[in-house]
Amino acid sequence: MYTMGYSMSIVDFHIHPVNLEELHRADPNLTSALRDVYGLRIGLQPLKVFVNQLRFFGVSKAVILGLDLSRTYGVKLPSNEDIARIVSMHPDLFIGFMGLDPLKGDEALSKCEKFIDKHRFKGVKLNPALQGFRPDDERIYPVYELLEDLGAILIVHMGFSWNIHSNLTYSYPLLIEPIASKFRELKIVLAHMGWPWIWESICLALRYENVYLDTADTFTGTPKDHLKKVFVETLGVSFVKNFLRDKILFGSNHPRMESGKVLEAIRVLPIEDEIKDRILGLNALRILGEVSTP
C-alpha cells in the first residue's frame, strides 16, 4: 500500500464545481445549461458533501475552475463570482481559477486584473474547443502577456472531448507552442495530457520549462485502465520517471470523474513513491509557488 512520503499534500488541479446544489438553487437555468451545453447529466451534491468527499480521499488542495461560455452559449459554468464564494467558504481547501473569454478584449484584461489581483485567483481556465477560438490567435496575446505579468497560471483544455459542441481543431496541443515559446514565464498546464495527442503534449512539456500536463479524466476505461495505458503501456515507467517527473499534475476533472477514483488510479501505478508524490501534490505546489523547487 502506497503512503504519502515526500510532500504529504495531495492537490487535485482540475475540478469543475458545476454540480453543487447551492449553485443550481441560486440559478435554475444552470441545470439545463449543464446538460445542454456542457453535456453532463449528474446528481447534485451540497458543498459540504463535496468538501467531505475531497477530505475523505485525502485531497488537501483543490483547484476549482470557472468557465466563461457567455459569448458562445450565454452561460458561465460557473461564474467567477461563484468560484470566489466557494473559495471564501473553504480557503484552506479551494484554489480559484477564473473563467475568461479572451476574445473580449479590454473587458477580458480588466477581469483578469480584478479576479487575480483582488480575489487572489491563481490563474485562468480556457477551453478553446468549447469557447470557440484558436488559442494561437494573436488577438489573445495581450491576455497571455497580462497573465504572465501577474504571475498567473493558464490551464487550457487540450485533446479530446466527448462534448459534441467542442471543435477539436482548437484543442490540438501544438497550437499552444507559439504561446509557450513567446511567454516563457507563463506557466501553462495542458489539461488531460492532451489525450489522444499525448506525444504532442509531451513535446511541449519537454521543450518548454513553463509547460505542464494534468491527468484529468479517463477516456479509455476506468481511471486505473486509462492511466495504466498512458503511463505504463504508452509512455513507459522509466520515461515518466526520468523525463516527466516534474511535469505531471494530478487532476480529476470532477464531476466527470470523481477525484478519489483518479487518485486511486495514480496510487496503484507501478512507479516509485517519490514520483507519485510529485504527481499527486508536489509539482502542483511548486507551480502554485507554495514550495520551492525540490
Q: Is 36 in the site for other proteins (CB under 8 A)?
A: no
Which one, 1 or 293, has the nearer CB to other proteins? 1
- C-alpha 234/C-alpha 113 separation (Å) is 40
Q: Which of these ranges, 63-71, 145-153, 200-208, 251-259, lies near other proteins under the rule CB under 8 A?
A: 251-259
- Residues 156-195, mask of contacts with other proteins (x by CB under 8 A): ------xx--------------------------------
Q: Which residues contact 28 (CB under 8 A, 6 or more apart)?
A: none
Contact pick of 2, 4, 6, 53 for other proteins (by CB under 8 A): 53
CB of 256 to other proteins, least distance (A): 5
SS3 235: helix
Structural contact between residues 123 and 99, judged by C-beta atoms closer than 8 angstroms: no
Count residues binding other proteins (CB under 8 A): 32
Does position 260 interact with other proteins (CB under 8 A)? The reply is yes
**Is position 42 an interface residue for other proteins (rule: CB under 8 A)?**
yes
Q: Is residue 43 close enough to count as binding other proteins by CB under 8 A?
A: yes
- DSSP H helical segments within the chain, as ranges? 21-26, 29-36, 47-56, 80-89, 105-112, 128-131, 141-150, 177-182, 198-207, 223-227, 237-243, 259-267, 273-277, 283-287
Following DSSP, what letter does each residue of 85-96 receive, concatenated? HHHHHSTTTEEE
- Strands 75-76 and 68-69, by their bridges, are antiparallel
DSSP 8-state secondary structure symbol assigned to residue 229: I
Closest approach, Cβ 148 to other proteins, in A, equals 34
Q: Does 89 bind other proteins (CB under 8 A)?
A: no
What residue ranges bind other proteins (CB under 8 A)? 21, 35, 38-46, 48-49, 52-53, 56-57, 162-163, 217-219, 221-225, 255-257, 260-261
